[in-house]
Amino acid sequence: MTSARTVVFDLDGTLVDTAPDLINALNFVLEREGLSAVPFDAARNMIGAGARKLIERGLELDGRAVSPTDLARLTSDFIDHYAAHIADLSRPFEGLESALDDLAISGYRFAVCTNKLEWLSKLLLDQLGLSARFAAICGADTFGVSKPDPAILRQTVVRAGGQLSSSVMVGDAGPDIGVARRAGVPVIGVGFGYTDVPISDLKPDRLIHHLSELPAAVEALMLQRNSV
Closest CA to 117 of 82, 73, 163: 82
Catalytic residue among 10, 17, 172, 205: 10
Give CA angle at 21 (169, 77), nearest 5°. 105
Q: Are 13 and 19 in contact (CB under 8 A)?
A: yes
> How many angstroms separate the CA atoms of 162 and 132, rounded?
17
How many Cβ atoms from other residues are within 10 Å of residue 181's Cβ?
18
H or E stretch at 218? helix 214-227
Active site residue 201: no
Written as one letter, the residue type at 182 is R
Closest CA to 125 of 117, 104, 74: 117
**DSSP summary character for residue 32:** H
Give CA angle at 174 (104, 65), nearest 5°. 130
List residues with catalytic annotation.
10
